[in-house]
Structure 1
């Protein structure tokens, strides 16, 4: 069965890919030093292909579960538009090529971090954590936190304090982001037998955990300016953006299960959480450029 190019693109999870590429690009632009534009483009392409390959392998492994969830039932594999072997070969090919491209275009530290991020997402998160523990998102959050390190290492050949701070920002952002989603698709996860926190511990506990991790995320968001790694442009942006995030998380945490059909606050928090990272990482770049001017 020949695969349609649109289904191959869908395997890469394009919406997730956009955020991954953006935060990787910001890690590169915030790094000290310079990189040739062509090599920089190759590094960002490597991050995109690596993330796309990991997404394809995730869908290859979870095809049977995806069929049981309304949100994912129309993906190429559960919908029967593609052979599983095609997704496997596509995912492996993209992943291997992305690491080789990054290593040859920049350096092998950046390539190594990219390889670790792909392996972590596929083997640790997808195959091990997700089907076994409600802490899957907490630990698995590391998978999406590597791009700032990759972008920075592509330019500098090392790992600095700022990309590490950004790593932990994404790491602690992940639980409230995904738990907000899991609240309004809880039945999907239950039907597929995935032990997401709302399925295992209930909505009340999940709402409290969203607020708890939002508070930790807030500390991580302010860490770059408190440590003197960024200036006021980032500091003010992070403070205002985090206060908005916290207000939304508080609203979600105070709600109860008496109206499961009304999930507008949860949906707002989920959507804003995506915008939040775009804003903060953009502010990191703007701040570095202001300081350099």
Structure 2
């Protein structure tokens, strides 16, 4: 693997001479900053909801909160760094990843590997001060993302998205388990919500970047089986989201109503894809909708459980 990576990196470095980035920009690219934040937010939501449903307060668990966010943040960052380290050969081909420091050579692959391992270890050590259950969920997410997804299925199988979705779906479980390790319908439903949501979200990206994935020989569904099959899968997964708000009825009728409306609107948008004149434009709208959908839902979960609304 390393020989292939190094040859690809050297080949690309010749074409990026003169393109400079700051250390901060390189670090943000290395940890995929937006992806990192997007994965830490569900941890925060899980933690907050656990406090709400166990009738405790954030002031009682402030230290645990910092350890949970810090620990999960380092674990997620470590996994993302290792993903960059391993994927440098395909990152040289895909336009959207060609400025990553592993590709430009700003960071050596040896340094990146050490950073990924170190960040992961720091994260697990911090989580150890919360609960064993939180560590286990963090470990499940990290192992799934680094090995079955990054190093095995991503390049070979169209169902790599399913495996990758597991790592993102365990994030609220980490936050919840830091407070309460017992089974509860809310964190279980959050896992299902994130797991299912990531499928149409990722497929929308895969359609948008289909040419790049095809060139890099990454086995994304649109590149292997075409847009029509991908659209069918998107509609099925979005339809599977429809029952989930009712499983979270403990959050109140306002949440269930708004979440249900969002689900139905997304389903309509997905179905329109079968008659779309511009697949890339339609995929972009689905991508934007998916991002705003999840942001609205998690903000809403927190808002409806604030003392001023929940009392």
TM-score normalised to structure 2 length: 0.86
- Cα-to-partner distance string for 1:236-263 (whole Å, 9 max, x where unaligned): 121122122222212224326xx46xx2
SS of the residue corresponding to residue 96 of structure 2 reads coil
Deviation at 1:205? 1.1
**Aligned residue in 2 for 1:289:** 306
- Cα-to-partner distance string for 1:109-153 (whole Å, 9 max, x where unaligned): 111211211111111111122111111112321110011100001
**Aligned residue in 2 for 1:61:** 86
**Aligned residue in 2 for 1:109:** 133
| Contact 2:30 2:101 (8 Å CA) reproduced | yes
2:267 to 246, 270, 282: 246
| Contact 2:141 2:170 (8 Å CA) reproduced | yes
Give the Cα separation in 1 of the matches to 2:287 and 2:73: 23
After superposition, residues 191-270 of structure 1 pair within 5 angstroms as 191-225=215-249, 229-255=250-276, 259=278, 263-270=280-287
- Between Structure 1 and Structure 2, how many residues are aligned? 283
After superposition, residues 15-34 of structure 1 pair within 5 angstroms as 15-31=34-50, 32=54, 33-34=56-57
Deviation at 1:5? 4.0
Structure exhibiting the larger radius of gyration computed from Cα positions: 2
- Cα-to-partner distance string for 1:212-243 (whole Å, 9 max, x where unaligned): 11111223344322xxx331121012112212
| Contact 1:221 1:242 (8 Å CA) reproduced | no
Give the Cα separation in 1 of the matches to 2:232 and 2:66: 41
SS of the residue corresponding to residue 132 of structure 1 reads coil
Give the Cα separation in 1 of the matches to 2:111 and 2:128: 26
| Contact 2:144 2:163 (8 Å CA) reproduced | no
**Aligned residue in 1 for 2:107:** 82
| Contact 2:276 2:282 (8 Å CA) reproduced | no
Structure 2 gap ranges (5+): 1-21
Root-mean-square deviation (CA), in Å?
1.8
Give the Cα separation in 2 of the matches to 1:114 and 1:49: 10
Specify whether residues 73 and 40 from structure 1 end up closer, same or farther in structure 2 by C-alpha distance, changes over 3 A only.
Answer: same
Give the Cα separation in 2 of the matches to 1:254 and 1:18: 35
Structure 1 gap ranges (5+): none
| Contact 1:121 1:143 (8 Å CA) reproduced | yes
Specify whether residues 107 and 176 from structure 1 end up closer, same or farther in structure 2 by C-alpha distance, changes over 3 A only.
Answer: same
Give the Cα separation in 2 of the matches to 1:46 and 1:71: 29
TM-score normalised to structure 1 length: 0.91
Deviation at 1:292? 4.4
1:144 aligns with 2:168: yes
2:120 to 95, 98, 119: 95
Give the Cα separation in 1 of the matches to 2:242 and 2:79: 29
Give the Cα separation in 1 of the matches to 2:182 and 2:134: 8
Give the Cα separation in 1 of the matches to 2:245 and 2:81: 30
Give the Cα separation in 2 of the matches to 1:57 and 1:219: 36
Give the Cα separation in 1 of the matches to 2:162 and 2:242: 16
After superposition, residues 171-186 of structure 1 pair within 5 angstroms as 171-186=195-210
**Aligned residue in 1 for 2:8:** none
1:278 to 286, 295, 308: 295
| Contact 1:211 1:253 (8 Å CA) reproduced | no
| Contact 1:148 1:167 (8 Å CA) reproduced | yes
